[in-house]
Structure 1
């Protein structure tokens, strides 16, 4: 029982101290060893736990996912520095106009994130355009974070089939799936999330207008004007995104030469476990090369952009690796058997159990990718075995996992939420209600509906 208490205290401290600004790189190993000490008492060998459990899992996760984090960050940086991200957002905003300002911001974010551009790059690229549109339409500025959150933190991150965001890549090795897993469920979820979010934001804008509230006076607001003459054309800017999506789909369904069973056996893996990752790596590499070659004049220093993107990826991957290492230490403890039994005891249905475990851990860690990685590392094989015993398609496990990570992850202590509010120059008090509705409440309600549909055999 003492071990279970230790795990609970460890998780509570992880959530609280991360919210207080202490790096997960420091917190994860310390709190993992604290839980091990509470569970094992005097018999706990902390150094062995650190080097042989925590760091082994850390390195294993980096081996599997570092290329995706690296290439995704480089691609996002190039799309930003070349002006492609701004060109896409500006064109969509111009076509839809001020009368559909909310939809224009959401759609701009959605197109960019669905194409693989990082959430932070999207927020920086779209915010200046959003301020211009909202000011012209006299919509309260406090609704901008909710609009960006809806377009970047919800359906394009977790629901739409094929999205190259890391949250959609993590389940692939566990379930032998690809980025287009459970397409019907994914599309339905995306429609529900997008439609529900737009309805909410439009309702809030109308309510504000009726109350006489406009854009507001923001004397400290600093926005950079966009020189459209230096931006690439919309088609050229969109092409790298199309390359990622189309190539990823095609490569995920073709045979990779020289990868017969006997060849891969020496690496202790199967083609089904690596095809999704390989497809995404190749797609991103080709999209990066295309972006550089077609924007040489617009990129002031392509080498610098690539280097900055690569360096920027390090914190994201190491944070997530640390959370995975933490999860593996917890999984190795005797107390985890009790916790695992409690989680699985919530429901004999693996989809429901998976949805709960991923959501809770994403909320505790304040990270969609971190929470899902911990849950799948600890329980992924169990869920896979349960699904096979119940005739559930692994694709459904994949989609439920991704949808589940995009719920409680956006509680107020989430790093992306804090960064988004910082970019917009607003506070939790002013804008979190709309962020929470669009990226937490509506996605959770959508997940419940998708769970019902999944149990009827829809894939």
Structure 2
């Protein structure tokens, strides 16, 4: 009965989240369903187990969500995202429209800008490019998606994305984990996606399709907002707050903060912080600081980039305080939403029947790497969010995977990279908030655009995941 309750709770959460219900309501309700069918006390699990799991996630990740939200908003209001996207599209030209869009999307998101912030700049820019090249607008989401939320979120070493950060405390890694494998995965995803986009464009031209202007206004509904905040790290409603700059910076000034993020993150994670002796602080605080070095590196990098951004664009900001406030506020709903999913996972893990689920997952044929890949794909698909799926799985099984890594001689960096890439595959199913928001802003529908998105943001990533899995299993982490 307890196992049935866990499955029912997952089905309840998935079904109503897909229909646009707030995860803030659904997560505790689903947790109570699991507890009820397990014969467990409801209120203690709600106010105790659920809130403890939720609180741990907020305590651990609020600084990252906060600085990430501020950085994304400041990049937008300073005109830096627009400047970068316009520069790349102008240099590559109309004949390379697809490549221009993918690269512009990749550059800003790899540098730490939330995909939700980037969408509101990239979509209008892509619309101009597609109109000039006479490419059907239905291919816009597939092109933007390839650059914005595939390899830059999960495979590229050093990416400061939330997805790439979540495994760090569990595996004691950094965002640069398994860099060789990450680069290989990125190249495969990029190459396959570009091949598909070129094929789709050629097929559309052969069929006589052309760009058709949709003059209707893109409206972000409350339903899409709820689903988006469960899948990302920025509340789209905050983009209308603050004031955008009337002039854009030069490309060099615009891209400088992105370079600062990657450079400072690299040196802090691999050079500076590992050489500092934290033993005294660990004894005083009673915590393992070594496992959080990767998180600290990202925080320092984002803080340095924000300072650089303000210093270079101070006179461009219409109202600096409003931009900072909006960026900070943008982090609240996403982190509470994802944390609620983690709270749900904590309750499920506390149920007696979860032992059956844990044993079935960990003893899956093929060893711990197969188990890890399957678990991440499954939970990301069910929850419609890579970060939420990872947080639930690692919160319940992270210590077990580390134990198995030591037992089987597996490098934790390999587990980190496989975890992130796996969570970034089936999370992009039709109910994913990032997919819904991109379609809404692009004024496209699932029927017109989703098949091409499947190929660029799911199939290509799965191919890269298979390649990384076999390379890692054969040669280890590199």
Aligned to 2:105: 109
Find out whether 1:419 has 2:437 as its counterpart. Answer: yes
Deviation at residue 52 of structure 1 after TM alignment: 1.8
Aligned to 1:396: 414
Find out whether 1:241 has 2:258 as its counterpart. Answer: yes
What is the distance in 1 between the residues matched to 2:76 and 2:10? Answer: 36
What is the distance in 2 between the residues matched to 1:229 and 1:383? Answer: 51
What is the distance in 2 between the residues matched to 1:298 and 1:239? Answer: 16
Decide which of 297, 301, 312 is 1:279's aligned counterpart.
297
Aligned to 2:188: 192
Find out whether 1:36 has 2:35 as its counterpart. Answer: yes
For structure 2, the residue ranges without an aligned partner over 5 or more in a row are: 220-243
Find out whether 1:252 has 2:269 as its counterpart. Answer: yes
Tell me if structure 2 keeps the 8 A contact 1:87–1:233.
yes
Decide which of 126, 129, 145 is 2:122's aligned counterpart.
126
What is the distance in 1 between the residues matched to 2:218 and 2:35? Answer: 48
Aligned to 2:89: 93
Please, what TM-score do these two structures have when normalized by structure 2? 0.92
Question: Which piece of structure 1 moves more, 99-108 or 213-222?
Answer: 213-222
Aligned to 2:161: 165
Aligned to 2:135: 139
1:374-400 CA distance string (max 9 Å, x none):
011111111111111111110001000
SS across alignment from 1:456? helix
Deviation at residue 265 of structure 1 after TM alignment: 2.9
Decide which of 56, 67, 72 is 1:60's aligned counterpart.
56
Deviation at residue 260 of structure 1 after TM alignment: 2.6
1:303-323 CA distance string (max 9 Å, x none):
111100111111110111001
For structure 1, the residue ranges without an aligned partner over 5 or more in a row are: none
What is the distance in 2 between the residues matched to 1:388 and 1:233? Answer: 50
Change (3 A) 1:10 1:228: closer
- Give the 4+ runs in structure 1 shifted more than 6 A: none
Deviation at residue 269 of structure 1 after TM alignment: 2.3
Aligned to 2:210: 214
What is the distance in 2 between the residues matched to 1:435 and 1:281? Answer: 32
Find out whether 1:376 has 2:375 as its counterpart. Answer: no
Tell me if structure 1 keeps the 8 A contact 2:245–2:316.
no
What is the distance in 2 between the residues matched to 1:256 and 1:305? Answer: 34
Please, what TM-score do these two structures have when normalized by structure 1? 0.96
Aligned to 2:367: 349
Aligned to 1:230: 247
Aligned to 1:6: 5
Deviation at residue 299 of structure 1 after TM alignment: 1.1
Aligned to 2:319: 301
The count of aligned residue pairs is 452
Aligned to 1:76: 72
Tell me if structure 2 keeps the 8 A contact 1:91–1:234.
yes
